Structure 1
């Protein structure tokens, strides 16, 4: 009977599909009496209907209120109880506001007290510097306040980091039994020491505070999503900390609630151990040093806090030395020596080798910036922390190499990588020094850097000696925001673009070359399947071993007689060598093209608009030239492929429709990016900049480029805040509906006349009205009323600031009204809301 029941479920579902019965796309069940089917989005077919309970469960888990397929937002309306009034009485609303204000003050008051405490500590610590601010003590006190605020933020960051490390440590101790034995060994060594009792007491209170902070972090949506979706999701569980474990301290401070006590305890505990105690120890050391000269250099160059930290570190090292007496206990000697050896190996793998690789990359790319070895050594000698830049370069290169290695191993069979180290094996240990693999990886990466960077740079220099060095950062301060966007944001977009197209290109190259060299049987085969190893673990192991590793098992289970027969072939090694030579040649050609062609196209673009750039005193930047050239080349390539495909398939009529649509989009984009920001920037210039910076007896000078840039920034910031956030004060209801329609439907699916008339035309009419109406009124009415020319110029100068003040007052009143409505709605929902109802999707005509 059980077997028959089990087989009845899929049969019933199959029968429903055959009978075209509407079913839920989540649970695959038909409509129920108390759970009807809805169609909340634009999906069709079997994805159209969904149960209300299923979609609400999906929204709660995914925390997203839009369809992941059609990207339409779900329409959800609240359901209230039958006795709910139309609105709350004024008295109830005021009581709710007072209660909310009281709860907010109880939450914020401890942090204000903590900031005040830290500011007072900074004021006491920096009291010697107060004489330098004798002209303005307010500046000194304000500086102490900001230092206290920054130190509070630092405490919050550090205790969050400690909470995460503690969870990771507990998870490692639970899974790694060897680490657990090491922890027990350390605990046994510390148990019989007198100072340990003090440390145990301090750690007890620190553990309680960390558990309390852990529970507070889980209540925040950002940290909850980050922790629950991470690799340690099961470890981040609520601790339900009870602060009565503080004992006498909690009973003494009975008048403080748990939140206030925990916040004050965290800040006082942390600031005392991190700041006040080292400062007091440093002052005591300085008092002793003054009694024993010479002491001038120490007092002038080292602060009290630094001396205190050095003393505490020395005491801690001496205490550990007394705990672990290496001569008396051979077990501890062996454990200590193994720990030191593992730490040195990890430092060699994770720090030294990436730094050496970064130095080699920096040396091979000297012509890009025109620097020399002596100049780089001089910079490092003056600023030693700049040496960390090479480590970052090496780590970045290894991450890229690791992605490429994983891509190649997904295409090529495992037997081609028999010589690589297998990091997925059960016997692999990251603390073991695989010297042969590391030396091979370093030699391979060194050769690749020469092929990809050094040879292309030399080739380009031989062809055009004036191509290098590249020009960086030659724009003025007004354009630094756009320059930073080109430097920081564009590499990520480039990586996403290249990542999507590199896999098919590499796959086709491997197939073509291996077929020409008769290596298809050896290289190509069934694509590799991903194993169950954690991605983060694989990433760390791959970087530690120089990325020249195997991710899909060893080659032992793939060896067969055909491989032995191929390797006995006299020309087999010659064909493998030819394959590697063609790979190196391809990398060289691609790197040379990718390095030179976008920069040349971008420079040509800048040269075509050089007249406008010189009129504003601007020069071209090669980073911006590279991105502009890359975008131009990419767009030309896409258009060429699109036109070629339509011509080959004889769909010229569809191609003409696309061409007309592109022309319409270019027209819309041109008006939106040039006309609207220009008018908006001119209006901002008349309202704010000219009245505040230009005297009345001088005539203002208008700079269209500056006005246009200001308009571009302000327009797109307002649109981004309106479309992607809950901020509604920058647009009216009509404009929010228009922007929401454009976002959900798309420009290509909206009528061209509606976009011109209701979107762009409406914006231009509003801006022209704000610009022209005050000017016409002032120049037509004031001369008729008999005002002088000076009064006319004064009123003309300040009519737009008055208009701005009226707009600000109107926006403030609107913001206050919306805030009151929002608070009323929140309180109304808390009292009378009983559920939510999903509304069916209505097609946008």
Structure 2
């Protein structure tokens, strides 16, 4: 061993080797960092938590050292004892995890749902037997499933409350919640804190008196109309709302913001009007009015008095170590919270979750429902013999929340009149919670649901349906009907908002002042719900409903009526599969390939933006409102645009001024107002409506016509035309729409390329065509292989799953299965995508590395040899063997031994599931064999292992050393990160 040679030192401690501490060279590194002591390496591995060298990346390996008296084969008694110990530990953990699963997946949802059911449908007699009814075995699975939904709702309610609290703490409450607080503090006794110096008290009094007139002024301003609020003095200090922005009605409604009184801002704005009430503060007192989060003023004196009475506690607080609290917070992990760490502390968490579920159900569901039901009964809105629709409980609960909000407003006014600060603040916070909850339900639930219902009503002639049909379907499945309408409404609102975002990129800033700017970083819907009044929210909701309803009327109902008048035979659309093609195949094809491939193209957004720009240019030229609609183009030669150099600090002052006075929108551009401006705007609205109708009419007709024509040509070519006397079959409109949409996209793409290439001349077009042909020739083999993989692998996957699962379960033995290869391929596409996703999320193995490498390379840098060798060949080989081997055995080998036709059919039908079960059993047996080998090594190490020795890296026998390292790592313990030292 050459590790004791002269001049060799350890790379860590810089000491030479000794007989008791030899030097090793465990990695590829050479030179002065080649050698290291085993103890130094173990210490470095313990702190760095790495098993490989940071410089060369070679993994360190250790060889175990066993006791000399270790037998060659372990005695059966030792193996049985270790096996029994492992089985005991496994049973213990299995019982613990079973209890955890029963507690979280059984007890918690079951108690939640049955408590919910008792509160809404129970009686006083059921109260006595409630503990027995909660754990009854009747309808256990259904109640647990419904209880999971109830627990999810309560969990979201709890998270929403916590988030709302954070929003109030960071963004501040509304103006009326904090309006009288400074006056209340000024009314407190002068000498509240005995430890406060006397000379600091007049300063605080002066500061409080100085703030009083400003808040009274803001209170008066809030009582004015919206137009009067534009004249508010920007110099007044408003210490209420610091982060609230109204981006929709800018210039019409006031914006409350904290005035930081920065020097630059003071230089950029006129001096504020001095109030004669308060004297000027001393020079050594800061005048920055931006304050940290303030403790409620009715609690400050108590805190200060308590601090005065307990000086020792204050000294203890001075020695407080925040790391202790951080460590305590780190101890509560998800494993400990759920009970996956092996402890029984989770039972306490289960008890608290059950209690909180019951409390939330009682407070946020039962109480509003009871209040609403009582109010409806008193008002006699519903007759006793006539029940409300299926959502009676939801509507009653919402009505109860409205009644509670009105009651809270009245109680808040009473407590404000009686000057009860703490009850007034509590009632105000409760009102904010109820208000935000109601507004969230209206904006997220009711408004999209209304849009979906209106979409359905306007599209009834398109599908030859009536309101009676929709009523019957709603009565059959009310929940499903409501969810479908809500989903379509949400999709419509989403795409409408996306269209508005594109409009803002084209139009002049300030044209769409009446719509919310979703890209504004200062836009916060929750803050607006907290600070703005119910009247303004109601006005916004009505305006949104009018805009959405008008858009649906123009884009759906009007084109349908025009189409029925011009071409009566075009409608209705066929949504039932009358042809021989199965509906499921092309629906899956549409969802998995066509729609993702279409909507992921960035060209669609660019084309839509270009069409909008062309339309705006044409309309602005016709109406003479280009300056208003698109803005004025800058004139670089104009002398008025020569900008002077700003003075130092002027930019900062302008920024502060823009923050303080947000009466005009950011980026607002002035425009030239022509004569008869109102008439021109009315013409703009009329042209916009006409354009929407024409665009929607083209969208509803052109793709469908192209798709129907292509499907008709395909039917003629495949001899699927109906005979005389037969009713002509019509394909599913999903097929025609998908095919027509793709044809329109291809034609549009070709037109766009032609428009870009033809102005460049004939030579440029020829060179471009040659370039495309060369690229196509270079990628021809890759494209053919890609098409082959896209066709063969999904087809084999879908056919294999049908042979293994579908045919044995659905096809009787006395019938012959019929395979639709198109349907199998479409299902195989879905299965392949799921398998790829699961493979990428799974552990490291060759197929995962091949998929990731192919995804990183893409089409431009595709490695065809790698794709064929590592991805296509293994997958196709495995699928081919799985399909071929059972077929050959069933139809070639088994007929030699079995003569009966019924037995042959039975074998052919059941051989694929039998092979699947055999493969699963082999995998299970292999897994248990590997686990038993690990258990055997663990028993041997536990009984006879005395240490481990570091293995040197042999530069001359690299390949043999790699094999030896792999063999050694297979016999090492399960955790080789902290190996034991060698014992001599």
TM-score (norm 2): 0.50
Is 1:503 paired with 2:619?
Answer: no
- In the other structure, the counterpart of 2:129 is none
Return the offset for 1:654. Answer: 1.2
Please list the CA deviations of residues 512-569 of structure 1 after superposition, one character each: whole Å capped at 9, or x if unmatched: 55467654444434999xxxxxxxxxxxxxxxxxxxxxxx965589899x84xx42x4
Distance, in Å, in 2 between the alignment partners of 1:142 and 1:597 is: 57
The CA deviation at 1:688 is: 4.8
Distance across 2 between alignment mates of 1:345 and 1:270: 21
- The separation in 2 between residues aligned to 1:558 and 1:782, in whole angstroms, is 81
Q: 1:683 to 1:553 in 2, by over 3 A?
A: same
CA contact (8 A) 1:451 1:588 kept: yes
Asked whether the 8 Å contact 1:123–1:144 carries over to 2, the reply is no
DSSP 3-state at the match of 1:749: coil
User: Cα distance 1:239–1:675, how it changes in 2: closer, same or farther (>3 A)?
Assistant: same
CA separation of 1:363 and 1:690: change in aligned 2, threshold 3 A: closer
Equivalent in 392, 402, 405 of residue 500 of structure 2: 405
For the residues of structure 1 that align with 2:890 and 2:549, how far apart are their CA atoms? 73
Aligned partner of 2:771 among 654, 668, 673: 654
Q: How many residues matched?
A: 639
- Tell whether the 8 Å contact from 2:558 to 2:693 is kept in structure 1 after alignment: yes
1:113 is matched with which residue?
Answer: 103
Deviation at 1:618, TM superposition (A): 9.3
Distance 2:788 2:414 in 1: 82
User: Are 1:626 and 2:737 matched, yes or no?
Assistant: yes
- In structure 1, the partner of 2:288 is none
* Distance in 1 (alpha carbons) for counterparts of 2:98 and 2:567: 64
Match of 2:703 in 1: 598
Q: Are residues 1:743 and 2:743 paired? A: no
SS of the residue 1:467 aligns to: coil
Superposed, which structure 2 residues align to 1:323-362 within 5 Å? 324=411, 330=417, 350=443, 360-362=454-456
Distance 1:502 1:814, change over 3 A: farther
Alpha-carbon distance between aligned partners in 2 of 1:240 and 1:434, rounded to the nearest angstrom: 45
SS of the equivalent of 2:575 reads coil
Residue 162 (structure 1) aligned to one of 150, 158, 161? 158
455, 471, 478: which one aligns with 2:574: 471
Equivalent residue, structure 1, for 2:459: 365
**Mapping for residues 93-108 of structure 1, pairs under 5 Å:** 106=96
- Distance in 1 (CA, whole Å) between partners of 2:150 and 2:474 is 29
Are the counterparts in 1 of residues 109 and 150 from structure 2 also a CA contact under 8 Å? no
Secondary structure of 2:706's partner? helix
Deviation at 1:594, TM superposition (A): 1.6
Q: Deviations over 1:665-719 (max 9, x none)?
A: 6644553344444444444455555556666676655554554455444444323
Secondary structure at 1:469 match in 2: coil
What is the CA–CA distance in structure 2 between the aligned matches of 1:371 and 1:183, rounded to whole Å? Answer: 56
What are the equivalent positions in structure 2 for 1:70-469 lying under 5 Å apart? 106=96, 109-113=99-103, 115=105, 117=107, 141=137, 143-145=139-141, 147-148=143-144, 150-151=146-147, 154-155=150-151, 158-173=154-169, 175-178=171-174, 181=177, 257-267=344-354, 270=357, 274=361, 324=411, 330=417, 350=443, 360-373=454-467, 397-414=492-509, 416=511, 429-433=532-536, 445-469=548-572
Aligned 8 A contact 1:357 1:446 in 2? yes
Q: Which has the higher helix share?
A: 1
Q: Give distance in 1, aligned partners of 2:567 and 2:505.
A: 39
**Pairwise CA RMSD of aligned residues?**
6.6
Deviation at 1:725, TM superposition (A): 1.6
Which residue among 704, 725, 729 is the counterpart of 2:841? 725
Distance in 1, matches of 2:713 and 2:933, equals 54
What SS class does the counterpart of residue 534 from structure 2 fall into? coil
Alpha-carbon distance in structure 2 between the residues aligned to 1:690 and 1:343: 54
Tell me how far apart the structure 2 counterparts of residues 690 and 557 of structure 1 sit (CA, whole Å). 65
Question: Is the contact between residue 626 and residue 632 of structure 2 (CA under 8 Å) also seen in structure 1?
Answer: no
Going from structure 1 to structure 2, the CA distance change for 1:324 and 1:669 (only over 3 Å counts) comes to: same
Structure 1 residue 622 displacement after superposition: 1.9
Consecutive unaligned residues in structure 1, runs of 5 or more:
1-33, 35-74, 129-139, 189-234, 245-254, 280-296, 529-551, 835-845
Determine the structure 2 residue equivalent to 1:41. none
Task: Evaluate the alpha carbon distance shift between residue 828 and residue 554 of structure 1 in structure 2; reply closer, same or farther with a 3 A threshold.
Answer: farther
Measure the CA separation in 2 of the matches of 1:681 and 1:368. Answer: 35
Aligned partner of 1:832 in structure 2 is 977
**Residues 389 and 691 from structure 1, CA distance in 2 versus in 1: closer, same or farther, beyond 3 angstroms?**
closer
1:507–1:104 CA distance, 2 compared to 1 (3 A)? farther
Q: Secondary structure at the match of 1:367?
A: helix
Q: CA deviation at 1:78?
A: 8.0
* Structure-2 change in CA distance of 1:164 and 1:464 (3 Å): same
Does the aligned pair in 2 maintain the 1:452–1:591 contact within 8 Å?
yes
TM superposition shift of 1:373: 4.9
Query: Which has the larger Rg?
Result: 2
Gaps of 5+ in 2: 1-31, 33-53, 67-73, 123-135, 185-292, 294-322, 332-341, 367-383, 635-660, 723-727, 939-968, 980-984
Q: CA contact under 8 A between 2:453 and 2:485: conserved in structure 1?
A: yes
Tell me the CA shift for residue 653 of structure 1. 1.7
Equivalent residue number for residue 11 of structure 1: none
For 1:588, the equivalent position in structure 2 comes to 693
Aligned ranges 1:684-833 → 2 under 5 Å: 684-690=801-807, 701-705=818-822, 707-709=824-826, 711-722=828-839, 724-726=840-842, 734-750=846-862, 752=864, 759-760=871-872, 763-773=875-885, 775-776=887-888, 799-813=911-925, 832=977
Tell me by how many angstroms 1:589 deviates. Answer: 2.8
Would you say the 8 A contact 1:110–1:263 is kept in 2? no
After superposition, the Cα gap between the structure-2 partners of 1:794 and 1:84, relative to the gap in structure 1 and judged at 3 Å, is: same
CA distance in 1, matches of 2:540, 2:810: 66
Cα 1:344–1:143 change in 2 (3 A) is: closer
How has the CA–CA distance of structure 1 residues 455 and 703 changed in structure 2, closer, same or farther, with 3 Å as cutoff? closer
Secondary structure of 2:536's match? coil
User: Following TM superposition, by how much is the alpha carbon of 1:726 offset from its aligned partner in structure 2, in angstroms?
Assistant: 0.7
Kept in 1, the 8 Å contact 2:794–2:825? The answer is yes
Q: Deviations over 1:277-297 (max 9, x none)?
A: x99xxxxxxxxxxxxxxxxx9
Tell me by how many angstroms 1:595 deviates.
1.8
| Aligned partners of 2:847 and 2:870 also within 8 Å | no
Distance, in Å, in 2 between the alignment partners of 1:383 and 1:774 is 45
Relative to structure 1, the CA distance from residue 557 to residue 665 in structure 2 (aligned partners, 3 Å threshold; closer, same or farther) is closer
- Kindly indicate whether the alpha-carbon contact (under 8 Å) linking 2:577 and 2:732 is maintained by their aligned counterparts in 1: yes
Once residues 184 and 820 of structure 1 are traced to their aligned partners in structure 2, the CA distance between those partners, rounded to angstroms, is 75
CA deviation after TM superposition for structure 1 residue 266, in Å: 1.9
Distance 1:588 1:82, change over 3 A: same
Return closer, same or farther for 1:701/1:261 CA change in 2, 3 Å cut-off: same
* Cα distance change on mapping 1:400 and 1:557 into 2, 3 Å: closer
8 Å Cα contact 1:679/1:768 also seen in 2: yes
CA contact 2:109–2:144 (8 Å) conserved in 1:
yes
